[in-house]
Amino acid sequence: MGRGHRTGCAVGGNRLLACQFVTATESAPAKERWRAQWAELFSEVVTSGLCTGCAGCIVACPHDVLGYDDTNGVYKPFHLEEELGPADCGHGQRGCTSCTRACPRFRNWETEIDTFMFGRERQPEEQAGMSKDVFLARATDPELHSNGQDGGLVSAILLWCLDHGRIDAALVSMLEGDGSTWKAVPGIARTREEILASAGSRYTYSANTLAYVQAIEDGAERLALVGMSCQASVPGVMKARKAGKVARRLALSIGLLCSKTFDDAIFEELFEAKYGLKKADMVKMNIKGVFQIWMRDGSYHEIPLKECHAWTREGCKLCPDFAAEHADISTGGIGAFNDWTLTVVRTDAGREIIDGMIADGAIETRPGDDDPGAIALMRKLSTVSRRRWPETAVAAPRLGVPPAKPTASGH
């Protein structure tokens, strides 16, 4: 007879569950050892269409055998060693599992991160993820506010966290060179000037996670990661699956609401070819129902989003996360108030930072009730994104998603 295990205590059909003396070790199903490595990541995520290009696997790899292809709209990891070909990894065969532990699209990622971060699984009605507060915010510093895409909140958070010793640096997106190519590239912000240089939104992909390596080489230990929803889940998945010191260093995740990014080719092939708008002359862009473009000569242009869809980046096509559901703080620009940031605080760490910023006068806020339409739209767009997640993959991201309405043709 096992320790603490009384015989003959069967109630109903299940002897073990009904027995109150069963020990935890005996009753809990043995946790399967995590063995998945690059070979599984390659077949289940990288080549299946689920890969977003977030670069979590690359920075987590302790053997530096993963590269990143950001040419011609690829934005995917690849294996650098020729030993076993592109689809397998010798270190993986010898027991290394870091890349799959760091991938926010591998197997049951959503449930694992939710359970780790929030202590429970997402409920069907929580289409935009779990949160503590939803409100509007903007930076009180006029320069941060005017440089920011919406309310300059993200920039204000980074500056406040640097000034208060919460982080040593932030992994952000910058523009390559003098900015005239509009090529968004990962970068590091350690100063007010660098934060200001990174402010605003680019609608092509920038795998900010990749800046981790340089930031650590430069001596940073605590980092904030700014990124679209796919990247905002990287710290959470690494922590949930115990991916080691990379996970510990990603101290704060700031998410950007996101339904898609575009291929870099959209500049030449659509904006210039059809509308004569050269990227070197663009000064700002935004998406508010249409693609808005402001030019150096003061002119303003609107391109219908329908025309842009053909340039949707491959890695976005199956992405189910609009609301950056695993960020500490998620931020967006939808709603009635252009110069405010729609703000979703999800974790205690996020709430503590926002409370500190309010107390210091670094941001001003107004209640989410001032713009209920923005919150409703966030939920709606979250459902729209979840519908993209394929039925052949794990079910969790589609939980609570109603079936799509039939079209006029009945399909």
Ligand X SMILES: Cc1cc2nc3c(=O)[nH]c(=O)nc-3n(C[C@H](O)[C@H](O)[C@H](O)COP(=O)(O)OP(=O)(O)OC[C@H]3O[C@@H](n4cnc5c(N)ncnc54)[C@H](O)[C@@H]3O)c2cc1C
Q: Which residues bind ligand X (CB under 6 A)?
A: 148-155, 172-173, 184, 198-203, 206, 208, 226-228, 256-259, 261, 287, 331-334, 341
Q: In whole angstroms, how close is the CB of 386 to ligand SF4 at the nearest point?
A: 11
Q: In whole angstroms, how close is the CB of 13 to ligand SF4 at the nearest point?
A: 41
Q: In whole angstroms, how close is the CB of 353 to ligand X at the nearest point?
A: 14
User: Running DSSP on this structure, what letter comes out for residue 30?
Assistant: P
Q: Decide the pairing of beta strands 133-139 and 363-367.
A: antiparallel
SS3 291: strand
Site string for ligand SF4, 94-133 (x = CB under 6 A): --------xx-x----------------------------
Q: In whole angstroms, how close is the CB of 132 to ligand X at the nearest point?
A: 18
Distance separating alpha carbons of residues 26 and 4, to the nearest angstrom: 9
- Is there binding between residue 77 and ligand SF4 (CB under 6 A)? yes
Question: Residue 350 is which amino acid?
Answer: G
257 contact, one of ligand SF4, ligand X, none, CB 5-8 Å limit per kind: ligand X
- Is there binding between residue 228 and ligand SF4 (CB under 6 A)? yes
DSSP structure string for 247-268: HHHEEEEEEE--S--B-TTHII
229 contact, one of ligand SF4, ligand X, none, CB 5-8 Å limit per kind: ligand SF4
Query: Looking at beta carbons, which residue is closest to ligand X?
Result: 332
Question: Residue 264 is which amino acid?
Answer: D
Half-sphere exposure (Cβ direction) of 243: Cα atoms closer than 13 Å: 31
Question: What six digits make up the tokens of 370?
Answer: 């001032």
Q: What is the CA radius of gyration of the chain?
A: 23
Distance separating alpha carbons of residues 272 and 274, to the nearest angstrom: 6
Distance separating alpha carbons of residues 182 and 61, to the nearest angstrom: 30
Q: Is the dihedral of CA 312, 314, 319, 322 positive or negative?
A: negative
User: Which span (38-46, 84-92, 346-354, 390-398) binds ligand SF4, by CB under 6 A?
Assistant: 38-46
Site string for ligand SF4, 314-353 (x = CB under 6 A): -xx--x-x--------------------------------
Distance separating alpha carbons of residues 282 and 51, to the nearest angstrom: 30
**Closer CB to ligand X, residue 40 or residue 70?**
70
User: Which span (145-153, 217-225, 258-266, 351-359) binds ligand SF4, by CB under 6 A?
Assistant: 258-266
256 contact, one of ligand SF4, ligand X, none, CB 5-8 Å limit per kind: ligand X
